[in-house]
Amino acid sequence: MSKTKQAFAVDADYMLKLSQKYGTPLYVYDTSVMEKQYKRLKKAFSKLDTQINYACKALSNTNVLRFFHSLGAGLDTVSIEEVQLGLHSGFSPDQIIFTPNCVSFDEIRQAVELGVRINIDNLSILEQFGNTYGNSYPVCVRMNPHIMAGGNTKISTGHIDSKFGISIHQMRHLQRIAESYKLNINGLHMHTGSDILDVDVFINGANLLLDCALQFNDLEYIDFGSGFKVAYKPGDMETDVELLGERMTELMENFFVEYGRKLTIEFEPGKFLVSESGYFLADVNVIKQTTATVFAGINTGLNHFIRPMFYDAYHHITNLSNIGANERVYTVVGYICETDTFAWDRRISEIREGDILCFHNAGAYLYAMSSNYNSRLKPAEVLIHKGNDYLISRRQNFEDLLSTQIEIPLNN
Ligand SMILES: *Cc1c(COP(=O)(O)O)cnc(C)c1O
């Protein structure tokens, strides 16, 4: 039901060159990998009218958005700021879908004013929407099919305790609101979590959503969200999107017969499109041998890369400075003043102080989740595009840290 990844390759000489040119820590992204992933997904669903919207919360640099726009992708956004970034990056309003959760109605109103597609996941907001716009503005509804999916509870959104979506058991209430306000419901949506490996879980969720879809006559599209799992370590499995494409094609062709006409289907991957395109480079500051462990302490921390501490995420590490040397066991840690571990008991080519380590799968949810904790500056981001490397956001400087602070007179 899934595919296995064997090796994690990286052009060590090129990455070392970039680490010297731009300094470390450094995020590096490669557009050719983004393009490969986008085209792979497009191809898997090519028998259907398929729209892929890049979920830009994974990596939101405007150049990355512009690149996906150039490939023909739409954009999935979760905040008004992401909507603005999308418009700034060249997407037209109808290419942007706004899928917020627990935002104020005022934020939804702003998105309507910008003309983007609206996806609502709460009955009380839907009523306010009906009150304000009636049938004058189309709306998509996010359903919660209550399937347990995803790598861990922090990234699962479809289960019974989840704050996301309108329960499929509230269908009658949803229809009542839709009828009273004569809502123009033109899309149905689900997004049940991240790191869903099993194609059957997807298909189960899709079936539940399609049952709901039969209750709405004016649909133009059905959005199946995301959750595609990528491989994080050698031997790791990833979602078999080709198999999913075949199964979905069959499912949808049957559905279209029942529904009476064809609809567009949409997906909104973040991780699948950008995770593998990214490399995070860091310098080894110290090797610290304690009674129990050998620590490799690097010049970054959970402020730049929170996934291991937050999600127990595994990220593969290559010692770019000592490829092919004998492996030793290390615990790789950051410089933040609290426990800040990137890898526990990991076998890595012997590490020496001054070596450059490369973390793989650094495209999604690294820079996007970074902070200034410990008053550390955010690193630079570099984009490799058509054989050239470009600085796409500069390293922060000390002035940036103070730029939003206002000093007040404190002498009584
Ligand atoms: C986060 C999110 C996504 C992207 O999830 P990935 O696991 O990165 O593919 C898609 N849709 C919505 C609504 C999201 O919140």
Cβ neighbours around 154 below 10 Å, total: 12
3-state secondary structure of 163: coil
- At residue 193, the pLDDT reads 72
Give the position, in ligand 1's atom list, of the atom nearest the Cα of 364. Answer: 8
- List pLDDT tens digits, range 38-51: 999 999 999 999 99
Q: What's residue 318's pLDDT?
A: 98
78 Cβ below 6 A of ligand 1: yes
With a 6 Å cutoff on the Cβ, whether 47 touches ligand 1 is no
Q: Give which of 188, 287, 267 is closest to 225, Cα–Cα.
A: 267
Instruction: Give the global pTM.
Output: 0.95
Nearest Cα to Cα of residue 38 among 241, 290, 299, 258 = 241
Binding site membership of 98 for ligand 1 (Cβ less than 6 Å): no
Integer Cα distance of 213 and 227 in angstroms:
21
Q: What is the reported pLDDT for 231? A: 93
Task: State the pLDDT at residue 374.
Answer: 98
Ligand 1 within 6 A of CB of 268: yes
Q: Is 310 helix (H, G, I), strand (E, B) or coil?
A: helix
* pLDDT score of 179: 96
Dmax (CA) for the chain in angstroms is 77
Helix (H) or strand (E) holding 53: strand 50-55
Q: Which residues contact 187 (CB under 8 A, 6 or more apart)?
A: 117, 119, 138, 139, 140, 141, 219, 220, 221, 222, 223, 266
Per-residue pLDDT of the chain (412 residues; tens, 9 = 90+): 456 776 788 999 999 999 999 999 999 999 999 999 999 999 999 999 999 999 999 999 999 999 999 999 999 999 999 999 999 999 999 999 999 999 999 999 999 999 999 999 999 999 999 999 999 999 999 999 887 665 556 656 666 778 889 999 999 999 999 999 999 999 999 988 767 778 888 899 999 999 999 999 999 999 999 988 999 998 898 889 999 999 999 999 999 999 999 999 999 999 999 999 999 999 999 999 999 999 999 999 999 999 999 999 999 999 999 999 999 999 999 999 999 999 999 999 999 999 999 999 999 999 999 999 999 999 999 999 999 999 999 999 999 999 999 999 998 7
CA–centroid distance, 268 to ligand 1, in Å, is 6
Pocket test for ligand 1, best of 79, 226, 229 (most atoms within 8 A of CB): 226
Tokens matching residue 397: 């400087």
On whether the CB atoms of residues 223 and 185 are closer than 8 A, the answer is no
- 291 C-alpha to center of ligand 1: Å? 43
150 CB within 6 A, ligand 1: no
Could you give the C-alpha distances from 121 to 79, 164, 319, in angstroms and in order?
A: 14, 7, 45
* Index of the ligand 1 atom closest to the CA of residue 119: 13
Query: Residue length, the chain?
Result: 412
Q: For residues 305 and 281, what is the distance between their CA atoms, to the nearest angstrom? A: 11
For the Cβ of 99 lying below 6 angstroms from any atom of ligand 1, the answer is: yes
Centre of ligand 1 to C-alpha 186, Å, is 21
- Cite the active site residues: 337
